[in-house]
Amino acid sequence: MNPLARIQGNAWFQAGRMAYLALFIMTLIAAASWLFSNVRQIEPDKRAVVMRFGAVSRTASAGLLLAWPEPIEQVEILPAADRVIEHHVTALLRKDIVPAWTNTGGEKSDAFAGAGYLLTGDSGVVQLDVQVYYVITDPVAFVLQGEHVLPALDRLTEHAAVAICASRDLDTILVARPEMVGNGNHIAERRERLRGDLRQGINQQLAALNTAGSNPGIEVRRVDVQSSLPPAAVDAFNAVLTASQQAEQNIASASNEAARVHQEAVQLADRALQVSQAKASEQIARASTDTATIVQLADDHSPELLWRLWRQRMPAILARAGSVTAVDPHDDAHLILPGPDRPSSQP
């Protein structure tokens, strides 16, 4: 045999052997990777549910998890029992419910005119933006329900929100009234009561699902609610608020004007009373001065002097009268006084 051919045959043999060894090593590495693919470290704030051929096999808490590779066993990583998960309920948002306001013909449609709005107990309309915070109480049930958990939570939240709004008036749901002052504690209590009732309603429906055999494996711990009004209603409320404030300003101005007028009237009345009292005092003093002589004479019991003063002053006084009739007080004779003139009788 040719030595050159022998060397070439050895070279091809060595190359095939090296390729076989490389393929064998790669196969071993791939097999080892597949065999240990489900061996993982579970974080302290998480836990795992292991399913074997689609059926739940066991649950595992934080630590090292040893599981058979897929498709023998599947591992679902879930949050721990004390970890609260936030979920934004979009089923109540108008912008997510109404995809478009125009149909194929380009005309506006009123089919979704009331979509996203809830009717209150006093026939008002309000929109709620709800954030739900829940925990996973049953990881096995949560994994079995899978993608149906969050849609079910949206529907239950929507159902509870409809019932809560129907049992309350608009002021209770909106909670805050800018035109009402001094009610901060009361507003906080009403807001907390609304959240608590909504959370209780959702949990009651989750318990009903659990009883019916469709346990989603979650429990709602907290609910945040942000209420709003339709844009047209907001404008109307702003107009009412402006009118209320203007009315309060007008009432305050009228009260101030009434107080000013009342003060001026009291001052005028006091001034008139003081002037009247001064005039009365002056007239009393003048009358006392005018009658001082007569009173003094009467006290002195001087009839002659009184008659003399009578004769001196009475003519001047009587001269001012048109007519004077003198009657003796000691005369018991009857007097005939003229009466009113009577119209003459008609013939």
144-175: pLDDT as tens digits: 888 899 999 999 999 999 999 888 888 778 76
Query: Which element (helix H / strand E) includes 236?
Result: helix 231-300
- By CB atoms closer than 10 A (0-12, 13-18, 19+), residue 60 is buried
Both tokens of 79, joined, read 């949050």
Query: Cα 185–189–195 angle (5° rounding)?
Result: 145
pLDDT at site 97: 58
Q: What average pLDDT does range 272-295 have in this prediction?
A: 81
Q: Is the pLDDT of residue 66 over 50?
A: yes
Q: Is the pLDDT of residue 340 over 80?
A: no
The closest of 60, 68, 62, 64 to 40, measured between CA atoms, is 64
**pLDDT, tens digit, 9 for 90 and up, residues 69-115:** 888 888 888 898 889 999 999 877 776 555 544 444 445 555 566 66
205 touches 198 (CB < 8 A):
no
The closest of 176, 182, 285 to 241, measured between CA atoms, is 176
Handedness of CA 188, 193, 198, 202 (dihedral sign): positive
* N-terminal to C-terminal alpha carbon distance within the chain: 191
* Residues counted in the chain: 347
What b/e readout covers 87-114, taking b as 16+ CB neighbours within 10 angstroms?
bebebbbeeeeeeeeeeeeeeeeeeeee
* % helix, strand, coil for the chain, step of 5: 55, 15, 30
Cα separation, 92 vs 154, whole angstroms: 8
Pick left, alpha or beta for residue 304 (phi over 0 → left; psi -120 to 50 → alpha; otherwise beta): alpha
User: Can you name the residues that pair with 219 across neighbouring β-strands?
Assistant: 135
159 touches 209 (CB < 8 A):
no
DSSP-derived 3-state class of residue 135: strand
The 10 Å Cβ neighbour count of residue 177 is 12
Percentage of residues in the chain with pLDDT exceeding 90?
20
Q: Are strands 85-89 and 118-119 parallel, antiparallel or unpaired?
A: unpaired
User: Can you name the residues that pair with 77 across neighbouring β-strands?
Assistant: 48
What b/e readout covers 220-239, taking b as 16+ CB neighbours within 10 angstroms?
beebebebebeeebeeebee
pLDDT at site 153: 93
DSSP E strands in the chain: the ranges are: 40-42, 46-52, 55-60, 63-65, 73-79, 85-89, 118-119, 125-136, 218-228
Cα separation, 233 vs 320, whole angstroms: 86
Q: Are strands 40-42 and 63-65 parallel, antiparallel or unpaired?
A: antiparallel
pLDDT at site 346: 47
**pLDDT, tens digit, 9 for 90 and up, residues 169-197:** 887 787 655 545 445 566 667 777 888 99
Cα separation, 83 vs 80, whole angstroms: 5
Q: Is the pLDDT of residue 317 over 70?
A: yes
